[in-house]
Amino acid sequence: MEAQLEHYFDRLWPICRSLTGDGNRETLRILSEIVDLRVHEVPCGTKCLDWTVPPEWNIRKAWIRDSCGRKIVDFDDNNLHVVGYSEPVHTSLSFDELCLHLHSLPDQPDVIPYLTSYYNRRWGFCLTHTQLECLDKHATYEIYIDSTLDDSGSMTVGEAFIQGATDREILFTTYICHPSLANNELSGPLVTSFIYRHLADRQDLRFSYRFLFVPETIGSVYMLSQKGEAWKRNLEAGFVVTCVGDAGPFTYKKSRRGDAAVDKVSLAVLEQTESKYNVVEFAPFGSDERQYCSPGFDLPVGSLMRTMYAKYPEYHTSADNKSFMSFEAMAGTVRKYVEIVGVLEKNKKYVSRLPFCEPQLGKRGLYPTLGGQKDQVKAIESIMWLFNLADGRHDLVDISQRSKVSLIKLSDTLSVLLHKGLLVAGNE
Amino acid sequence: MEAQLEHYFDRLWPICRSLTGDGNRETLRILSEIVDLRVHEVPCGTKCLDWTVPPEWNIRKAWIRDSCGRKIVDFDDNNLHVVGYSEPVHTSLSFDELCLHLHSLPDQPDVIPYLTSYYNRRWGFCLTHTQLECLDKHATYEIYIDSTLDDSGSMTVGEAFIQGATDREILFTTYICHPSLANNELSGPLVTSFIYRHLADRQDLRFSYRFLFVPETIGSVYMLSQKGEAWKRNLEAGFVVTCVGDAGPFTYKKSRRGDAAVDKVSLAVLEQTESKYNVVEFAPFGSDERQYCSPGFDLPVGSLMRTMYAKYPEYHTSADNKSFMSFEAMAGTVRKYVEIVGVLEKNKKYVSRLPFCEPQLGKRGLYPTLGGQKDQVKAIESIMWLFNLADGRHDLVDISQRSKVSLIKLSDTLSVLLHKGLLVAGNE
Amino acid sequence: MEAQLEHYFDRLWPICRSLTGDGNRETLRILSEIVDLRVHEVPCGTKCLDWTVPPEWNIRKAWIRDSCGRKIVDFDDNNLHVVGYSEPVHTSLSFDELCLHLHSLPDQPDVIPYLTSYYNRRWGFCLTHTQLECLDKHATYEIYIDSTLDDSGSMTVGEAFIQGATDREILFTTYICHPSLANNELSGPLVTSFIYRHLADRQDLRFSYRFLFVPETIGSVYMLSQKGEAWKRNLEAGFVVTCVGDAGPFTYKKSRRGDAAVDKVSLAVLEQTESKYNVVEFAPFGSDERQYCSPGFDLPVGSLMRTMYAKYPEYHTSADNKSFMSFEAMAGTVRKYVEIVGVLEKNKKYVSRLPFCEPQLGKRGLYPTLGGQKDQVKAIESIMWLFNLADGRHDLVDISQRSKVSLIKLSDTLSVLLHKGLLVAGNE
Tell me the per-residue pLDDT of A19-66, one tens digit each, with 9 for 90 and over: 999 999 999 999 999 999 999 999 999 999 999 999 999 999 999 999
Backbone CA torsion sign across C324, C325, C326, C329:
positive
Burial class from Cβ neighbours inside 10 Å (0-12, 13-18, 19+) for residue A276 reads: exposed
Quick one: pLDDT band at residue A426, thresholds 50, 70, 90? confident
Task: Give the per-residue pLDDT at C428.
Answer: 47
pLDDT at C364: 87
DSSP B183: I
Please report the pLDDT score of residue A49 as a whole number.
Answer: 97
Nearest CA in chain C to B122: C370
Residue C371 has pLDDT above 70, yes or no: no
Instruction: Report the pLDDT value the prediction gives residue B426, as an integer from 0 to 100.
Output: 85
Contacts 24+ apart (CB under 8 A), A24-27: A24/A155, A24/A156, A24/A176, A24/A177, A24/A215, A25/A156, A27/A176, A27/A189, A27/A213
Chain-chain contact of A357 with C316 (C-beta, under 8 angstroms): no
pLDDT average, residue stretch B296-304: 98
C chain contacts of residue B285, beta-carbon cutoff 8 Å:
377, 381, 384
Distances (CA, A) of C17 to C57, C112, C156: 10, 17, 11
The confidence score (pLDDT) of residue A428 equals 47
What does the alpha-carbon distance between residue A299 and residue A256 come to, in Å, rounded to a whole number?
Answer: 8
Q: Any alpha helices (H) in B347-375, and if so which ranges? A: none
**Dihedral (CA of A189, A191, A192, A196) sign:** positive
In 3D, which of A249, A96, A101, A84 has the Cα closest to residue A178? A84
C57, exposed or middle or buried, with CB in 10 Å at 0-12, 13-18, 19+?
Answer: buried
Which phi and psi angles does C328 have, rounded to 5°? -65, -45
Closest Cα of chain C to B240: distance in Å? 15
First to last CA, chain B: 37
Mean pLDDT of C189-201: 97
Checking if the pLDDT of C21 tops 70, the result is: yes
Say what the pLDDT of residue B428 is.
Answer: 47
User: In terms of residues, how long is chain B?
Assistant: 428
The residue type found at A36 is: D
The predicted-structure confidence for A174-194, as pLDDT tens digits, reads as follows 999 999 999 999 999 999 999
Cα nearest neighbour of A386 on chain C: C284
| Predicted local confidence at residue C418, as pLDDT | 95
Model confidence at B362: pLDDT above 90: no
What proportion of chain B, given as a percentage, has pLDDT over 70?
97
pLDDT band for B366, please (50, 70, 90 cuts).
confident
Say yes or no for a CB contact (<8 Å) between C388 and B293: yes
Per-residue confidence (pLDDT) for residue B372, from 0 to 100 = 60
Reading across the β-sheet that carries C89-94, which strands appear in turn? C71-74, C56-65, C140-150, C89-94
Average pLDDT over residues C23-36: 98
Q: Strands A349-352 and A391-395: what pairing?
A: antiparallel
- Sort out which chain A residues have CB atoms less than 8 A from C316's CB and list them: 372, 374
For A175-189, A353-367, B62-76, C340-354, which range has the lowest pLDDT when averaged over its residues? A353-367
Contacts of C297 in chain A (CB under 8 A): 356-357
Mean pLDDT of A87-115: 97
pLDDT in tens, A71-81: 999 999 999 99
**Residue B220 with chain C: CB contacts under 8 Å:** 357
Q: Each residue of B33-91: pLDDT tens digit?
A: 999 999 999 999 999 999 999 999 999 999 999 999 999 999 999 999 999 999 999 99
Residues in C whose CB is inside 8 Å of some CB of A read: 49-51, 83-84, 113-120, 122, 217, 220-221, 224-225, 228, 256, 283-285, 290-291, 293-298, 310, 315-316
The verdict on a CB contact (< 8 Å) between C370 and B298 is: no
pLDDT surpassing 90 at residue B427: no
Interface size between A and B, measured as CB pairs under 8 A: 87
DSSP assignment of C152-211, as one string? T-EEEEEEEEE--SSS-EEEEEEE---SS-IIIIIHHHHHHHHHHHHHHT-S--SSEEEE
Of C49, C115, C284, the CB nearest to A356: C49
Tell me the shortest Cα–Cα distance from B389 to chain A, in angstroms: 7
Q: Which residues of C touch B51 (CB under 8 A)?
A: 357, 360
CA distances from A111 to A14, A80, A416 (A): 17, 10, 57
pLDDT higher for C363 or C259?
C259
Chain-centre distance of CA A298, in angstroms? 18
How does the average pLDDT of chain C come out, rounded? 95
* Subunits adjacent to chain A (3 or more Cβ pairs under 8 Å): B, C
Query: C309-326, pLDDT tens digit by residue?
Result: 999 999 999 999 999 999
Average pLDDT over residues B158-162: 98
Q: What is the pLDDT of residue B365?
A: 83
Determine the average pLDDT of the residues in C327-356: 97
pLDDT, residue B307, reads 97
User: For residue C85, what is the DSSP state?
Assistant: T
Predicted-complex ipTM score: 0.93
Mean pLDDT calculated for residue range A107-122? 95
Residue of B nearest to A228 (CA): B356
Sequence-ordered list of residues with C-beta below 8 angstroms from that of B76, at least 6 positions apart, any chain: B61, B63
Q: Is the pLDDT of residue B376 over 90?
A: no
Beta-carbon separation of C356 and B114 below 8 A: no
The model's pLDDT over A311-351, given as tens digits with 9 standing for 90+, comes to 999 999 999 999 999 999 999 999 999 999 999 999 999 99
**pLDDT score, position C379:** 67
Contact: A84, B371; criterion CB under 8 Å: yes
Task: Single out the residue of C73, C87, C230 nearest to residue C167, CA to CA.
Answer: C230
Give A147's strand partners: A59
CA B166/CA A230 separation, integer angstroms: 41
Shortest Cα distance from C406 to chain B (angstroms)? 15
- For A268: left if phi > 0, alpha if psi spans -120 to 50, otherwise beta; the answer is alpha
pLDDT band (50, 70, 90) for residue C426: confident
Q: Is the pLDDT at C365 greater than 90, yes or no?
A: no
Contact criterion met (CB < 8 Å) for B357 and A221: yes
Q: Which domains does chain A have, with CATH numbers?
A: 2-54+154-346 (3.40.630.10), 58-148 (3.50.30.90), 349-425 (1.10.10.10)
State pLDDT tens for residues A260-284.
Answer: 999 999 999 999 999 999 999 999 9
